[in-house]
Amino acid sequence: MKKTIFVAVIVCFIATSYAFMRDETPKYENLKVLPKNTNKHELDSIMKHFSRALGVKCSHCHVRSTEGKKDFIFASDENKNKLIARSMFKMMNKLNKKYFKEDNEEHKNKGELTPTISCFSCHHGQEHPENTPPAPPDHKG
Ligand code: HEC
Ligand code: HEC
């Protein structure tokens, strides 16, 4: 009996802290490929992935305000790389859904955020992914 109450208290605690976290979710203004209810933790980790995967800074895809020149206007679509990134994201989703379904389910079951095909799979820290493998070490000519 005691145990049941204890479990119920824990469940209740998790439920309320979860609701509390959701409450803190900022309302991003201009999400077109990510889910509208993406929370700050998820968005930060996705943006870090984008940046590291391409070896760039936030400014590669986001414009700054013309007055301050320091503050980003993250919701703006003025930077063309942001638009390219959106279409890349759609392509990435298609590849994962169509060709790597089971593999992605395994990732999900392990609680991993990053899908099988990620930006890094192709970009490997570069803006422009390479399409030719390096020559073998003993290659002459
Ligand atoms: C490779 C391009 C790229 C890079 C680099 C990038 N972002 Fe983004 N960012 C995007 C795209 C694309 C969206 C819109 C996603 C959508 O439409 O669902 C976005 C959306 C956002 C938003 C939500 C804006 C809103 O209100 O709609 C924030 C905040 C943000 N990025 C912050 C950052 C930060 C901070 C960094 C650097 C750590 C960063 N981004 C790096 C492409 C990028
Ligand atoms: C299947 C491979 C592949 C995947 C996955 C992929 N990309 Fe790309 N990406 C490319 C190729 C190829 C180019 C064109 C490179 C060029 O112009 O030389 C490119 C170009 C880009 C560019 C333009 C680069 C520039 O500076 O001109 C951006 C921005 C970009 N990708 C963002 C992303 C983001 C963000 C993701 C993940 C959501 C992603 N890509 C996933 C292959 C990929």
What residues are in contact with ligand 1 under a 6 Å CB criterion? 28-34, 43, 47-48, 50-51, 54, 56, 58, 60-62, 74-75, 81-82, 85-86
Instruction: Tell me how far apart the alpha carbons of residues 100 and 119 are, in angstroms, rounded to a whole number.
Output: 15
Give the per-residue pLDDT at 27: 84
The pLDDT of residue 7 is 54
- Compute the average pLDDT of residues 19-42: 81
Per-residue pLDDT averaged across 10-39, rounded? 71
Q: For 69-103, write each residue's pLDDT tens digit.
A: 789 999 999 999 999 999 999 999 999 999 999 99
Return the pLDDT at 12. 47
Q: What CA–CA distance (Å, rounded) separates 141 from 138?
A: 10
Q: State the Rg of the chain over Cα.
A: 21
Check residue 21 and give its pLDDT. Answer: 54
Token pair for 93 = 């989703």
| pLDDT band with cut points at 50, 70 and 90 for residue 67 | confident
